[in-house]
Amino acid sequence: MRTTRLLPLLTAGVLLLASCGGGEDVDTGGGGGGGDNVLVAAVAAQPDQFDPHATTAYASFQVLENVYDTLIVPNPDDLTMEPSLAESWETSEDGLTWTFTLRDGVTFHDGSEFDSADVVYSYRRIIDEELANSYRFATVADIAAPDPRTVVITLTQPTPNLLEQIGAFKGMSIVSENAAEEFDLQTEANGTGPFRLESSDANSTVLTAYEDYWDGAPSVDGVEFRYISEGTAALTALQNGEVQWTDNVPPQNIESLADDDSVELGSATSVEYYYLSLNYDRAPFDNPQVRRAIATALDREEIAQAARFGAAQPNQTAIPEGSAYYLDYAPYTPDEDAARQLIEQSGVPTPITLGLMVTDEDAESVAAAQVIASQLEPIGVNVEIEEEDLATWLDREAQGDMDSFLFSWIGNIDPADFYEQQHLSTGGSNYQGYSNPQVDDLLTRASTETDQAARKDLYDQAARIIVDDASYIYLFNPDVVQAWAPGLTGYTIRADAAINFENVELP
């Protein structure tokens, strides 16, 4: 029940420092060019698996983005929804029936035709097996395929963000009918995307171009995702021409890269957000004044500066500036005295010891935690930074075994993705134990509100309360920063950090 966690861009694994090799040929499966026209992309981490419906790891979606399609996709420039496997769609008057007309002439990588049965199978798999994204279908009553080119989704209540729910990312991919029986989807793939999954091992994942792709074969013969966890090593590989693209750019290098001719740098404000949250189940952190005191004591500019070296936008809400759903609301001004007063009013004796759980696989978290520790000390809150590996971190979070936790979510596109699961009393990712009936009411109403302006207004109201209650203490939206070889064209850097190599051309 979670949107994607951004996997660490910088891990501390010393043994992984070196990732070498280069220039090995990739079998393009009957193509002429051999290995010369293969894009080598350095990514930070190895995918945990390739089942699009089961994984929640960003490292997996980096690959799957290029292998699978969804009915609808976000436009790379402004993330509005546009046709992909569905050519068109219409909504009934009452908003309860959505009819999608599917594209003709689409084939899966195994050669089979794509039709409505594949869509029904894929969506039923997510719902019936309660896979990672089944909550996105919470309002879906039925999925029917009256004919091979038509899919009808019936809803129990109006769902204005249905397109975002089924199209925002590749967790909602269309797999071929019975794919889970015919393939081992953990390690194999049978999609309709521009590339087929060729092989994957501990060093890299190799994709080859799918010549019969419905939108035209990709320009490159293949893509090799090479795992280089160390950002400095990934950059060096790019500068040496060993790789042609990387998203593993250490933030401290961004400034110097701007005048580096051997590298082209792209950046965009992302839909990712960093937050700090305190556990409501542990006194005195359930005290609203203590929560507000901490929110007031933090200087987000400084935190963003230390964590991202300026490649981030401080924010007191989740949704980044630039999104249609952005809310300009910043009630907290960094103020030590005001924070100290709040703590005095709360009657909680100082010093308060606050365990702050971060994962050591995310350098930004570790840096932010150290700044927070130094900012909270003057108001009588002694922060003990607890660094855990990601698996332990997630485990402790799920069990509520922490005073406070700090990390990031990729919020995707729709405001529901930013607020619902994290702040509804019954939300699947509400690990802090927040419960405010007013917020529950607003979020529930917003999820069925079909009028866009009214919907934004409901989310704005909910966000204000969430920020005031400090359910999450929002910190900043990091920029997506990626670098590639000069002359590489056809690639668009996107706010949702999805990476798509369909139209990439090598220099």
Partner 1 sequence: MTQLPTPGANPAEPPPAEPIPPSRPARPRWRETLGLLARNPTAAVSAVVLVLIVLVALFDETLAPDGPNDQDQSIALQPPSWSHPFGTDEFGRDILSRVVLGAGTSLRVGFLSVAFALVVGTLIGLLAGFYGKWVDDVLMRLMDMLFAFPAVLLAIAVVAIRGTGPANAILAIGIVYVPIFARVTRASVLGVREEVYVRASRSIGASDFRLLTRHVLPNAAPPIIVQTSISLAFAVLAEAALSFLGLGPRRPNPSWGLMLADGRGFIEQAWWYSVFPGLAIVLTVLCFNLLGDGLRDVLDPRQRTLTAGSGR
Binding site for partner 1 (CB under 8 A): 10, 12, 14, 231-232, 250, 252-253, 256, 302, 305-306, 309, 360, 363, 366-367, 369-371, 373-374, 384-387
Minimum CB distance to partner 1, residue 112 (Å): 47
| Structural element, H or E, at residue 384 | strand 381-388
Please state, in angstroms and rounded to a whole number, the distance separating the CA atoms of residues 40 and 23.
9
Judged by CB, which is closer to partner 1: 309, or 326?
309
Cβ pair 350, 343 in contact under 8 A: yes
Judged by CB, which is closer to partner 1: 26, or 371?
371
Minimum CB distance to partner 1, residue 355 (Å): 10
Judged by CB, which is closer to partner 1: 150, or 239?
239
Judged by CB, which is closer to partner 1: 10, or 119?
10
Judged by CB, which is closer to partner 1: 199, or 374?
374
Cβ pair 491, 484 in contact under 8 A: yes
How would you write 178-196 as a 3-class SS string?
A: CHHHHCCCCCCCCCCCCEE
Judged by CB, which is closer to partner 1: 74, or 231?
231
User: Going by C-beta distance under 8 Å and a sequence separation of 6 or more, which residues neighbour residue 301?
Assistant: 314, 334
Helices (H), 240-299: 254-257, 288-297
Minimum CB distance to partner 1, residue 276 (Å): 16
Minimum CB distance to partner 1, residue 12 (Å): 5
Minimum CB distance to partner 1, residue 370 (Å): 5
Judged by CB, which is closer to partner 1: 172, or 366?
366
Report CA Rg, the chain: 23
Cβ pair 433, 424 in contact under 8 A: no
44-47, Cβ contacts within 8 angstroms, sequence gap of 24 or more: 44/7, 44/8, 44/9, 44/10, 44/11, 44/227, 44/228, 44/229, 44/231, 44/234, 44/247, 44/248, 45/7, 45/8, 45/11, 45/227, 45/229, 46/202, 46/205, 46/227, 47/200, 47/205
Minimum CB distance to partner 1, residue 302 (Å): 6
Judged by CB, which is closer to partner 1: 258, or 453?
258
Minimum CB distance to partner 1, residue 14 (Å): 6
Judged by CB, which is closer to partner 1: 237, or 462?
237
Task: Report the sign of the C-alpha dihedral through residues 175, 176, 177, 179, in that order.
Answer: negative
Helices (H), 139-266: 162-167, 179-182, 231-239, 254-257
Q: Report the 10 Å Cβ neighbour count for 292.
A: 22
Token couple for 481: 């920063």
Please state, in angstroms and rounded to a whole number, the distance separating the CA atoms of residues 406 and 251.
19
Minimum CB distance to partner 1, residue 56 (Å): 24
Minimum CB distance to partner 1, residue 207 (Å): 30
Minimum CB distance to partner 1, residue 399 (Å): 16
Q: Report the 10 Å Cβ neighbour count for 205.
A: 24
Judged by CB, which is closer to partner 1: 64, or 234?
234
Peptide bond into 415 cis (omega under 30): no
Please state, in angstroms and rounded to a whole number, the distance separating the CA atoms of residues 365 and 475.
11
